[in-house]
Every structure is written in C-alpha cells, then in structure tokens.
Chains A and B, each alone.
Chain A
Amino acid sequence: ETGVTQTPRHLVMGMTNKKSLKCEQHLGHNAMYWYKQSAKKPLELMFVYSLEERVENNSVPSRFSPECPNSSHLFLHLHTLQPEDSALYLCASSQNREEQLFFGSGTQLSVL
C-alpha cells in the first residue's frame, strides 16, 4: 500500500468512448499530479494541482480533462482518445511541490 490508489488498473477503450481515471491519496498531501509513461520515454508531466487549484498544464490535448474536487481526489476524464494515447497513466502526490513524489500503481490504458 503506497498511500496513493488508482483505479482502474487496466482500461481498454475505443476512440469514441468516454472514461475516467480515479486517484485517491491518503497521505494528507497538498499537491497531486498526473503523469504519462510511454515505453522507453521519460515520464511526462501532464497536470499539477496544488491545494485543489490547477497550477500546471503541459500543453496536453483537450481530450484529457482533469478534475480535482478536493485535496484527496484527482480524476482524469478521457474522451475521443487516439491510439497514440495508449500508455501507463500514473497519479502521484507530494506534501508540497518539489518534494518527494508518492506514486500510485498506474492505469495501463489501451486505445483501440
């Protein structure tokens, strides 16, 4: 148990589907993140929330839509994805920005 839980662990979706990834942290942290991890590539930072306010959006396509209803929960809403969006999506949290990240186990996403 890492203190950060993500669901689902695996997701297969068609390009016309709408789905959501969920992340919950039980560590009392102030910052939460979404990262994308593709094979042989660095982790790509997608979104950062600090105290429930989005502070970073790294030119991510609008087909990815984050939501942070409170400091413990983070969602990533997906719609009309492309096959190249297939990757491992990792949620993380930290006490404050620039501090140690605690990662969830990720959602392995396949877009058909």
Chain B
Amino acid sequence: GQNIDQPTEMTATEGAIVQINCTYQTSGFNGLFWYQQHAGEAPTFLSYNVLDGLEEKGRFSSFLSRSKGYSYLLLKELQMKDSASYLCAVVSWGKLQFGAGTQVVVTP
C-alpha cells in the first residue's frame, strides 16, 4: 500500500513564505504532483516532479527527493487568493494516490 502524509493546516501572513511538506512511502514511484483546490472548486495542477531537485514556477516551487520519499511545495510572496487546500499526489502503478491535503490560511 501507500502512505502519503502532509500537515492538516498551516497559517501564514500575506507576503510571507510557506513550505508544505509531503512524505510518502510507496513502491513503483513514477512522479509526484501538487494540486491547488479552492473551496467548492476543482483541484488545479500546480507542479510535477519526477527527478530529484527543485522546479520553480513563478511564486511557487516544488522540490523532490526520491531517496527520502519527500517533497515540498514552497509558496512565496503569499497573497490572500493563495488560501486554499494543497494536495500532494504520488504516481505509482498507473494511478495517482492523494494525500489528505493541507489547508493554507493566509491572514492580512
């Protein structure tokens, strides 16, 4: 089976930086996705990592260490609109398995 862990909730102020960690235990690893989901809306794609290292995309960056079974999503220069749930998903054996999501609350 697979085990994907991420914190339940994180709070940060506007303009700050927040790092959301995701650890996983799985076999047949084929990549890791991060999705953003606002309340009542569809999850939307943020990033995909298959090799070790950092992928930067504007204010958002994602890091992967396959040997450690670890990824993080870094959100910089936080804005109020970044308040959402962030889902980590591991690709393994032909399917995506999701973590429970991290609710990020951005305060003024």
Contact = CB atoms under 8 A, between A and B. Distances in A.
Interface string B29-63: 01101010000111111001000000000000000
A45 B91 CA distance: 13
Interface string A1-37: 0101000000000000000000000000000000000
A4 B42 contact: yes
B87 A43 contact: yes
Interface stretch (B10-18, B66-74, B76-84, B94-102): B94-102
Contact of B45 (A4, A97, A100): A100
A81 interface: no
A42 B99 CA distance: 5
B100 A41 contact: yes
B25 interface: no
Contacts of B97: 42, 45
A26 to B, nearest CB: 14
B33 A100 contact: yes
B107 interface: no
Interface residues of B, number: 24
Contacts of A74: none
A35 to B, nearest CB: 8
Contacts of A56: 94-95
A106 interface: yes
Nearest to B8: A40
A97 B94 contact: yes
A101 interface: yes
Nearest to A104: B42
Counting from the closest, the 3 A-B pairs by CB-CB distance are A103-B42, A43-B98, A42-B98
Interface of B: 4, 8, 30-31, 33, 35, 40-45, 48, 87, 89, 91, 94-101
12 contacts: A40-B100, A42-B98, A55-B94, A97-B94, A97-B95, A98-B95, A100-B33, A100-B45, A101-B35, A102-B45, A103-B44, A106-B42
